[in-house]
Structure 1
């Protein structure tokens, strides 16, 4: 296989391949990740209890937690997708710095104080205490479904990068990557996940910086990159139009991306579980702040790499000339192009891409195990089982979900448009989840019935927009307008080979503008629909009389809505809603 690839490369220099240096670096990353899992699973403190397996015994330090969070939330989708997005559509993600500031403040003051006090292995336990068991199961189901459907996409994108650079078949790469990740996650628990993420983050950051520096040098320097990005309309970030169908309007990005990141940070099991692995609330806030800085920095570098790619190919677009056939292949193509004279650099970059995929997958598998066990299996298992048995069950869940992820990859390859599909899946679940958590924390009068049906309404609302929108996009009825691209500087390129834009249009149907809504707004729509329906139903259908509320389940910013009357039951402090519900009927 390798020899055939090398032979093809000798014929066509644009065909990528790995040198033995690249393979060594890639294998070192995988082997070292496994060693970390073996150490925490078989030596050290081991993982003898559920708390140690899922929360690290609440003894982790803020810096490795922050690094792990950054690594696990920057998958191959970001490392491949963001530069390609900036290359084709502009650098709107540079506005993420504003968004992450809002997200960090909201998380620290609204969400984190309550979640840290609850300290549940599954954060959906909060919904059971605040509302009821039915609402908790609905939220857990949404999270599990979203993760199960997203994991194969994460692995596939990482494998696609390796396949593009080596010529190996994707389905030969996926099993190796997936099995190694399942191995060290299952035996090492959250400690293995966090420390492996920290190690893999070095590969990711190293890859990004190497590629960025080389790309800038090959493109004529920073000033040349910036000038071409400016004249190529990649820096048009301040379109203050309120049109929500504009893909990259300022308000669409800032508001939409803020709400989207709140759904993936403020109330997401993967993020909150790691933040709760530190011993104190002050350290959890510090972890979150460092995570925000790391996340913005890496995403900004990804966007800048997109600008560098545009500066290099401003006059000869690889997509138009068919040197690559997919957006996701732009970055590997660019890396092989700029690093062809430096042995090992391509290996570092692809190791970084695969590392990012492993980080995200390992975090998801660990959190999936905790959620499935706590919210579904623990009710069915005997009450007197030992901690050792519980850990064995958790490991079995990790292995099972990993096998399912591996099996689904063989389907993903045939679906087409896997990255847009993944974005739709995340938005469909994040919107209702963010809405139901937010009303629980901020609105004491919202009760179980309102929260449950509000989440269902939010799910129906956003699904009714996203699913038809993706269908219309697949039929070519909805298209995003790209920034200017050119082939004027291409050598030995037959421009007449480019297909004519004039073609028979069999379908003249024009989709409704609601289906053209920017993808940045999907989570916002789901969250708002959930909150509005939850509040309305709670006001209209709740039982009459003053209702006791566990004060610790309400965010500090909303506790002023509770009366001063305090009741102590056991060790739990209750206060009542400010306005008795019967007064609402008068």
Structure 2
């Protein structure tokens, strides 16, 4: 059935969606009027460093699992199969490494901005500001993409204009973040996580009921090669393989939970190091559960349309795989009042959690790295006002990026990974040079990312010239479709004057003629095209490799850090962090030192603020005698 035959939103749906929006705003208003009323930067940006473990873990969960995941993962499962689910292995590895490496490193420094650490390590304002700029650009880009994602779904099921949906989403997220600060962000994330899990679980259960059983879902998907979990092909041009997905997700979650401003700001706001580690570790089973449900949703949707013999994407009822999940909801559950409204609340929960976390993080970065030392003579209440105004400014910026995202072609996961991958590899390399090497200096830390970023941007742009490289699996059957219901779908007012993220191998004429959107056009590659055709999952690892190698070479050529000894507080003591893997001769001593250090850090006063920003030099934090021995 085409979109014209699908019932639009009813009153119950609008009521449920409105309640969700009002509740999110209400949490922000509550924290704006309670406690210290967000009158200090410490309360506004770090919640007075008194966060709780479970709310923080839930906030970490939804801050980085947005509507991009809710729409993109089912689309990937539908079009390319289950290989993307293997990313959970990388999630496990990356998160555990974060708790052993990044969390102890940053927590003992008690920083507000992640990039304060770069200043401490390299004694360089330039490196700190470069890292901050990369962080700001990366976060704003992600927020814009996350804001755009649910707008296409809302347009598909209600006809509500994309631009209007973007404005509503960005406005709501900006308002409650600007007035409620970190506390509002954390507790709206908790509320929205419940909505997300509940909505996705409901879709899965209802879909299984429509198909008949879980075993039938797997049987249909196995028959059509959607359970291709382990593809060990080493060809980097294949988009989804075990190696590319696992490597990319290991680095992604190691970076996201370990060095991103939103994460560091949260776990450094917990009372003790032990609780900080527990919050990050708790995110693993939560993340695993959410990703499993979302991926399984993609299998359920494919099994359902294969079971009834009508693939809506192949038949041309929808323009892009990004709309397959909202189409499924409106197509199969239209007789259940309020359910479509719950689904839209689920999507917007993902979008709002990403927006609010990003806005709060951007405010902290800009204040700590660019404004704090210049406005240090202001009253505390005026400093807090500045951070609130920063949220409003970045809310406008993310809205602009979301509007530009309308014109980007490609699947939503691919577009997000391409945009983020070109930036995140360069920014992550700065932290690797800082924490893993003692010879890297500020010149290398500047040169590496500045070489890597334009190269990866060039590769990402060049990839747009490689057509027919999407590697989609064969579609489901269409032999039982009602052709008359779908033939006029593109005359519907729903698609009037709309530009969607459709596959760049398909032109509008072929879509109208219902030609296969899954068809892979072979194209002989030559020369530089082989580089352009590498999997977008490898953009971040390749960016890290280039920046790290260049950074080390430049540092070596400029004399390294021979004249300035590096404090052990600023580098990873790998045998301490991974003592279970050390030789037995040093394991006991190292692990005991580590436990003693952690206990000292947990017992230390958390009320001491540091201002490490100086125009040239700053005073290093000296380790105790016991810490030096370890």
TM-score (norm 2): 0.83
Q: In 1, are the aligned partners of 2:429 and 2:548 still within 8 Å (CA)?
A: yes
Output the CA distance in 1 between the equivalents of 2:243 and 2:409: 30
3-state SS, counterpart of residue 312 of structure 2? coil
Residue deviations 1:312-347, cap 9 Å, x none?
A: 112321111111111111110011122112111111
Counterparts of residues 545-584 of structure 1 (less than 5 Å): 545=562, 547-557=564-574, 572-573=622-623
Q: In 1, are the aligned partners of 2:78 and 2:226 still within 8 Å (CA)?
A: yes
Q: Which residue of 2 aligns with 1:47?
A: 38
Are residues 1:462 and 2:456 paired?
A: yes
Distance 1:520-1:509 versus aligned 2 partners, 3 A rule? closer
Q: In 1, are the aligned partners of 2:49 and 2:269 still within 8 Å (CA)?
A: yes
Residue deviations 1:184-222, cap 9 Å, x none?
A: 100100100000010111111111000000111112210
Q: CA deviation at 1:359?
A: 0.3
Distance 1:129-1:24 versus aligned 2 partners, 3 A rule? same
Output the CA distance in 2 between the equivalents of 1:488 and 1:333: 16
Q: How many residues align?
A: 553
Q: In 1, are the aligned partners of 2:302 and 2:476 still within 8 Å (CA)?
A: no
Are residues 1:542 and 2:542 paired?
A: no
Q: 1:107 aligns with which of 98, 115, 121?
A: 98
Q: CA deviation at 1:180?
A: 1.4
Q: Which residue of 1 aligns with 2:514?
A: 498
Output the CA distance in 2 between the equivalents of 1:570 and 1:452: 21
Counterparts of residues 161-180 of structure 1 (less than 5 Å): 161-180=153-172
Distance 1:522-1:211 versus aligned 2 partners, 3 A rule? same
Q: 1:368 aligns with which of 349, 362, 369?
A: 362
3-state SS, counterpart of residue 118 of structure 1? coil
Q: In 1, are the aligned partners of 2:185 and 2:357 still within 8 Å (CA)?
A: yes
Q: In 2, are the aligned partners of 1:548 and 1:574 still within 8 Å (CA)?
A: no
Are residues 1:278 and 2:328 paired?
A: no
Q: CA deviation at 1:176?
A: 2.0
Please report the RMSD computed on the Cα atoms of aligned residues, expressed in angstroms: 2.6
Q: In 1, are the aligned partners of 2:441 and 2:561 still within 8 Å (CA)?
A: no
Q: 1:391 aligns with which of 384, 389, 396?
A: 384
TM-score (norm 1): 0.89
Q: Which residue of 2 aligns with 1:520?
A: 537
Point out the more displaced range, 30-39 or 168-177: 168-177
Q: Which residue of 1 aligns with 2:87?
A: 96
Q: Which residue of 1 aligns with 2:350?
A: 356
Q: Which residue of 1 aligns with 2:111?
A: 120
Q: Which residue of 1 aligns with 2:599?
A: none
Residue deviations 1:81-127, cap 9 Å, x none?
A: 10011011011232122112211221111211111112211110100
Q: In 2, are the aligned partners of 1:369 and 1:397 still within 8 Å (CA)?
A: yes
Are residues 1:321 and 2:315 paired?
A: yes
Residue deviations 1:280-332, cap 9 Å, x none?
A: 11111111011122112111111100000110112321111111111111110
Point out the more displaced range, 510-519 or 387-396: 510-519
Q: In 2, are the aligned partners of 1:551 and 1:574 still within 8 Å (CA)?
A: no
Are residues 1:489 and 2:505 paired?
A: no
Are residues 1:400 and 2:417 paired?
A: no
Q: CA deviation at 1:422?
A: 3.1
Counterparts of residues 158-557 of structure 1 (less than 5 Å): 158-314=150-306, 315-381=309-375, 383-417=376-410, 419=412, 420-469=414-463, 471-473=464-466, 476=467, 478-493=468-483, 497-499=513-515, 510=526, 512-542=529-559, 545=562, 547-557=564-574
What 5-or-longer segments of structure 2 have no aligned partner? 488-511, 578-618, 626-630
Output the CA distance in 1 between the equivalents of 2:175 and 2:341: 23
Output the CA distance in 1 between the equivalents of 2:19 and 2:336: 19
Output the CA distance in 1 between the equivalents of 2:554 and 2:405: 39
Q: 2:126 aligns with which of 121, 129, 134?
A: 134
Q: Which residue of 2 aligns with 1:6?
A: none
Q: CA deviation at 1:493?
A: 2.8
Q: Which residue of 1 aligns with 2:9?
A: 18
Point out the more displaced range, 186-195 or 371-380: 371-380
Q: In 2, are the aligned partners of 1:164 and 1:332 still within 8 Å (CA)?
A: yes
Q: In 1, are the aligned partners of 2:451 and 2:550 still within 8 Å (CA)?
A: yes
Distance 1:500-1:533 versus aligned 2 partners, 3 A rule? closer
Q: In 2, are the aligned partners of 1:550 and 1:574 still within 8 Å (CA)?
A: no
Q: In 2, are the aligned partners of 1:75 and 1:356 still within 8 Å (CA)?
A: yes
Residue deviations 1:423-466, cap 9 Å, x none?
A: 22211221012211012111112111111111222223322322
Are residues 1:28 and 2:19 paired?
A: yes
Output the CA distance in 1 between the equivalents of 2:271 and 2:288: 26
Output the CA distance in 1 between the equivalents of 2:164 and 2:209: 35
Output the CA distance in 1 between the equivalents of 2:461 and 2:538: 14
Output the CA distance in 2 between the equivalents of 1:418 and 1:408: 17
Q: In 2, are the aligned partners of 1:140 and 1:371 still within 8 Å (CA)?
A: yes
Output the CA distance in 2 between the equivalents of 1:238 and 1:404: 40
Output the CA distance in 1 between the equivalents of 2:561 and 2:178: 49
Q: Which residue of 2 aligns with 1:5?
A: none
Residue deviations 1:127-163, cap 9 Å, x none?
A: 0111111111111111111222232221111222222
What 5-or-longer segments of structure 1 have no aligned partner? 1-8, 561-568, 576-586
